[in-house]
Each structure stands twice: as C-alpha cells, then as structure tokens.
Amino acid sequence: MTTAILYVVSTPIGNLEDLSPRAVDTLKKVDLIAAEDTRHSGRLMQHFSISTPMLAVHDHNERQRAQALVQKLAAGQSIALISDAGTPLISDPGYHLVSAVRDAGYRVVPIVGPCALIAGLSVSGLSTDRFSFYGFLPAKSSGRRQHLALLAKVTHTQVFYESPHRIVAMVDDIVSVIGPDRQLVLARELTKTFETVYGAPASKVQAWLSADHNQQKGEFVVLIEGAEPEQLQDIGPEEERMLTLLLAELPIKKAAAITAAITGHKKKALYDRALELQGK
C-alpha cells in the first residue's frame, strides 16, 4: 500500500455485499480508519474481519482532528475515511479533513461505491441529464417550504434526503408548494429487505404514503421531476401593431421596453421582433 494517502472509502447503504473487494483490501491495509462512529462501523469491520485501528472523526471534532491526521500522513501513514453509510462527505462528515489533506499537498484517493443519492436517481425514472442535490431540507416546515418555493421553477430533477420522522410532512409540503401534479419519487430502504421505489404525481404519492404506515419507515431519497420550461408567449398582432407604432417614433430599445411594460412580453423577444420588422 502506498503511504501518505487518504483514501475516501464508500461503505454499504444497507446490503453488506456492496462493500467492494477494493474497499475491503484498502480498509485492511491502511494504518488507521477515520470513522464517523467507531461502534457503528465496528460491526462492518467484524463482518469482513478487518482489525485496523479506528479513530472517531465526526461533525463535532473533525476540524480539530484534521491537523492530527495530516501529521500522520506526514509521518508516512495511510488513512481511510469512512462514514456510517455510503460515500463520506455526501451529507456526511469529511469535507474539512479532505480539504486540509489536499491543502497540505497529500493525495486523496476515492474508493468508489454506494451512495443513496445516485442509487435513488438511477432507479427513479426521472431525467438524469441534469440534476441538483440538496441533502436534507430544514427540519421545520416553514424553512422547508421557503426552500421548496425557490425550487418550484427549476427545470431539472431535484434530489433530497429525508428522515422517516419528516417524510410525511415533507411530501405534504411538496404537494402544497410544488403542486399536486408534479411527478414525485420516493426511493426507500435501497438495497435492503423492504426496498420500495414509488413514483407518481405528488398528490398520489401523498395518499399512498398516508394509507400505509409501513411505507413511512426507514431511509428515503426524495426526487422531484423538473418543472416544465416556461413557454414563451407568442407575440400577437396587437403587440406587433403597438411595436410598429412606437418604432415610428422611438429607437428600437425604447419601443421594445415600452411594449414589454404594457404587454408583459419579454423585452428581448420584442427587441428581436422589432429588428425583424425593420428588416434588420
């Protein structure tokens, strides 16, 4: 094993068989495993007979531990970073450590594997050309609604994590803020026994969820289809007449701006039409 490297190792999000042979090999060979919760990860280590020493690195001590870990790399040790599940840093600790290690000039190597966000997206049936990931929205409904309101017109797929305590409230907020007809997908308990992926218009998902208590349990990835792009309104004969009259008296820019202010059409579209009218 090459020394002075920080390995960022993805671990299973449910099914232990998803720990890759390369991940097992890395976790066995490094000098130290920096784990979000050493007791939680202890079970994984036991299952794979990994006896490498572990050190707790979590949200509350990460900044402080980062410098000590950089010192270990400086001494030629290699370290693996893991979180409780999935890919470290993705709604999990690790950002401060990785940036400190990179700033100090040491290599950071990904040992790729499970990530609930990508797993959920890949089976959602929603467009994946472009998507945004927002992690967990605020726990309080008012904050969550404010965030959702900002996203209502986003035209690409939006992905969130949500806990079982808030899944019903989150879906309620999506229905009222984003709208009952928008396609919504809940990807629950991925890779586990009760894995369920349910997609439908938001109001149908809401009814389905409230009808079955069992579906409210476990871990969730929530995916919202992007909004339809806003259709550009056609510039009709009335708007064109107004534009022509104003063009006889004013420069193009002004004529387009006044027509836009009166009709609500986009200034740019009216400007382009004015150029056409003038044969430019």
List contacts with ligand SAM (CB under 6 A). 13-14, 83, 85-87, 90-92, 115-117, 161-163, 187-192, 219-221
**Minimum gap (Å) between residue 279 Cβ and ligand SAM:** 58
Q: Judged by CB, which is closer to ligand SAM: 86, or 226?
A: 86
**Minimum gap (Å) between residue 163 Cβ and ligand SAM:** 5
Q: Judged by CB, which is closer to ligand SAM: 131, or 220?
A: 220
Position with the least CB separation from ligand SAM: 86
Q: Judged by CB, which is closer to ligand SAM: 84, or 240?
A: 84
**Minimum gap (Å) between residue 202 Cβ and ligand SAM:** 18
Evaluate whether 106 touches 73 at the Cβ level (below 8 Å). Answer: yes
Q: Judged by CB, which is closer to ligand SAM: 48, or 194?
A: 194
**Minimum gap (Å) between residue 214 Cβ and ligand SAM:** 15
Query: Nearest Cα to 8, choosing from 93, 66, 114, 81?
Result: 81
**Minimum gap (Å) between residue 221 Cβ and ligand SAM:** 5
Q: Judged by CB, which is closer to ligand SAM: 219, or 239?
A: 219
Q: Judged by CB, which is closer to ligand SAM: 11, or 259?
A: 11
**Minimum gap (Å) between residue 53 Cβ and ligand SAM:** 23
Distance separating alpha carbons of residues 217 and 19, to the nearest angstrom: 24
